[in-house]
Amino acid sequence: MKSNRIREKGAGSLKLAAYIITILFIAVSLIPMAWMLSSSLKDGKSIYSLPPKWIPSLPQAVSIIIDYSGTTATDEQFYEREAAKATWYTWKKFQNEAIGELKVIGMKDDRKIFEATTPSYLFTAGRPEIVPAQVFTDEMIKVKLPIIRAKGYTEFKTYADGVDLDGAETQNLREGIMADQNLSTQLGEYLDTANFMQGSLLAVHQVGSWAHFFDNYKVIFKTKGLDSGVGLQTYIGNSIFVTVVTIVLHILIGGTASYALSRLVSKKWGAGLTMFFVATIMIPEFAVLVPLYLTIEQMGLVDTLWGIILPHSAWGIAIFLFKGFFDQLPGELLQAARIDGASEYRIYFTMVIPLSIPIFTTIGVMSFMATWNEFLWPLVVGRKEEVWTLTVAINSFTSNQSMGPHIVMSTLAIATIPLLLVFISCQKLIERGVAWTGVKG
């Protein structure tokens, strides 16, 4: 505004320092987030690489080409079993390697007779069920093939009459194992000696594949209880439900009660009751953790989302802030409406609320942050996976043997998104709310 302000001594150095320090702080505080994102894109092997790498390596798509020339069996079932064995037994053997996709191609007399494709996220999701142990027998695959089919873990294509190979596959076949590709060499050596297949190994080929770059994110959505159907979706859903209902409760109960305190009861009653509500700010969650648990237990609400939500309904800070705001509303306006014959309900919902949008937003956002982040109470109340919130699930993921840090990191990234959206889309509202509460205290 004051463009022709006189340049002061020291203004330049202050400005420079301001920029440097601000940018430095922001950069440093964004590093952990960047590291989280980078780690979330790594595979189960490179996450443990030393020194730690920032750029995730490209997942490898591996093709195994097997020759059936000379074998007599020709039915579809047989080939599917062969393909399933080649895929799942081999991959189980190399389960900690960085394979993004495994394709098994069956050949007979130089023609392609089947093709089976399994992406790594489906392998990871199906592994505990399909190959729990290393019993690589025909019997086992007969039990497991129907599950593989039903869950769609592996995509099978069989060609009764065989088809001619397309260019890329011919090349696969021709080049075979490349010398510098350690992984396919290992796979090749293993398959050469493995005796669970009827066919003989022709070639193993690998190529970097961008298509599987985000597989970790698919894995966490695929990994779930097979019969309870509980997975990340449920945890996210629970967190959203708990958060939304809590916000509604805070706004409804806090808003109406505070309005009553501020405008509908006598000063004496108002002060006393306000004390009644606000004094609970002094009761830390920890002081009442055990009795509160027992209360919820007696209400039969342990292991329910309502058991997590209901205790939130008593939140002294909301009443404190609401009351403070309502006290400052122009009384004349409301009085005028009263004289016009408007009921108190009408006044509250048509006049007070629109006038109080900043405080409603502030409480809403505060409530969102507090509830979305909450950990201890849901940990205590929700013991079944069905009612875990995201934070509780994350904590349990870290001690889950079958989830490497890369998978955990992608869960963290997903858990960050909701607040990120709120922050970016509601920045103005949040700042207005903060400005108000900041002044208020």
Partner 1 sequence: MLKPPRKRRKLNWIAIFFLTPAIVAFLMFKYIPLLRAVYMSFFDYSLMNPPGNFLGLGNYVLLFKSSVFWTAFGNTLAFSALYIGLTFWVPIVQALFLNEIHRNNSLFRVLYLLPAAVPAVAGLVLWKWIYNPDYGLLNEWLALVGLGPYNWLSDPAIAKLAIVIPSMLGGGINVLIYYSALRSIPEETVEAAKIDGANPWQRILSVIFPGLRFIIGIQFVAFIAAVFLSFEPMYIMTGGGPVDSTRVLTMLVFDYAFQSYRFGLAGAISLIMFVLIAAITMVQLRLSKDQTQ
Partner 2 sequence: MHGKPRVLTKRFGIIIVMAIMLIMTACSQGGNSNGGTAAPEQSEKATESTTNESAVKQETIEITVWDKAKPDDILKPVYDEIFAEFEEKYPHIKVKHEVQPAGNNDREVFVTSMAGGNGPDAYASAYFPIMSDWAKQGFALDLTSFWETYADKDQYLPSAMAAGTIDGKIYGIPNNMYTMGLLYNKKLFQEAGLDPNKAPANWDEFVDYAKKLTIPDKNQYGYALLGMDWADWWFEYYVWQAGGDLTTKNEDGSVTLDFSKQPAVTALQFYKDLKWKHKVVQKNIVQDIGDNQKDFFLGRVGMILSASDWFAGVVQGGMDLNDIGFAPYPVGPAGVAPSQTGGQYWIVNPKVPKERQDAALTYVAFRNSKESLEKMLKFQSENGILPNLLSVRKDVDASQFSSNVPADLVSSVTKTAENVQLEYFLKERLGSYVVKAIQKVLTDENADPLTELTAAEKLAQKEVADPYNKEIKE
Nearer to partner 1, 99 or 261 (CB): 261
Q: Does 142 bind partner 2 (CB under 8 A)?
A: no
Quickly count: other Cβ atoms within 10 Å of residue 227's Cβ: 6
CA dihedral 213, 216, 219, 220 (to 10 degrees): -150
Q: Does 222 bind partner 2 (CB under 8 A)?
A: no
For the window 346-365, what string marks contact with partner 2 as x by the rule CB under 8 A? x--xx---------------
Partner from partner 1, partner 2, none contacting 226, C-beta within 5 to 8 A by type: partner 2
Q: Does 333 bind partner 1 (CB under 8 A)?
A: no
Site residues for partner 1, window 82-111 (CB under 8 A)?
A: none
Q: Does 52 bind partner 2 (CB under 8 A)?
A: no
Name the minimum Å distance from CB 290 to partner 2: 9
Q: Does 38 bind partner 2 (CB under 8 A)?
A: no
CA–CA separation, 59 and 211 (whole Å): 8
CA–CA separation, 188 and 170 (whole Å): 18
Of positions 8, 166, 227, 332, contacts partner 2 by CB under 8 A = 227
* Pair 385, 225: CB distance under 8 Å: yes
Q: Does 387 bind partner 2 (CB under 8 A)?
A: no
Quickly count: other Cβ atoms within 10 Å of residue 390's Cβ: 26
CA distances from 412 to 35, 234, 390 (A): 11, 15, 9
Of positions 143, 168, 226, 288, contacts partner 1 by CB under 8 A = 288
Of positions 37, 183, 244, 253, contacts partner 2 by CB under 8 A = 253
CA–CA separation, 83 and 406 (whole Å): 29
Three-state DSSP at 163 gives strand
Partner from partner 1, partner 2, none contacting 210, C-beta within 5 to 8 A by type: none
Burial class of residue 160, CB neighbours in 10 A (0-12, 13-18, 19+): exposed
Region at 403 (left for phi over 0; alpha for psi -120 to 50; beta for the rest): beta
CA–CA separation, 123 and 380 (whole Å): 34
Partner from partner 2, partner 1, none contacting 128, C-beta within 5 to 8 A by type: partner 2
User: Which one of the spans 11-19, 81-89, 174-182, 289-297 is the region binding partner 2 (CB under 8 A)?
Assistant: 289-297
3-state helix, strand, coil split of the chain in percent (to 5) is: 65, 10, 25
Burial class of residue 339, CB neighbours in 10 A (0-12, 13-18, 19+): exposed
Residues forming a β-bridge with 114: 106, 158
Q: Does 256 bind partner 2 (CB under 8 A)?
A: yes
For the window 374-413, what string marks contact with partner 1 as x by the rule CB under 8 A? -xx---x---------xx--xx--x------x--xx-xx-
Q: Helices (DSSP H) in 138-231: which residue ranges?
A: 138-151, 167-175, 182-193, 215-222
Q: Which two tokens stand for residue 41?
A: 């894109």
Q: What are phi and psi of 384, to 5 degrees?
A: -90, 145
Q: Does 338 bind partner 2 (CB under 8 A)?
A: no
For the window 206-245, what string marks contact with partner 1 as x by the rule CB under 8 A? ----------------------------------------
Site residues for partner 1, window 166-205 (CB under 8 A)?
A: none
Q: Does 363 bind partner 1 (CB under 8 A)?
A: no
Nearer to partner 1, 211 or 420 (CB): 420
User: Which one of the spans 55-63, 77-85, 115-123, 275-283 is the region binding partner 1 (CB under 8 A)?
Assistant: 275-283
* Pair 385, 228: CB distance under 8 Å: yes
CA–CA separation, 10 and 6 (whole Å): 12
Partner from partner 2, partner 1, none contacting 425, C-beta within 5 to 8 A by type: none
Chain positions contacting partner 2, by CB under 8 A: 48, 50, 93, 95-96, 128-129, 132-135, 139-140, 224-228, 248-249, 252-253, 256, 293-295, 297-300, 302, 310, 313, 345-346, 349-350, 380, 383-385, 396, 399, 401-402
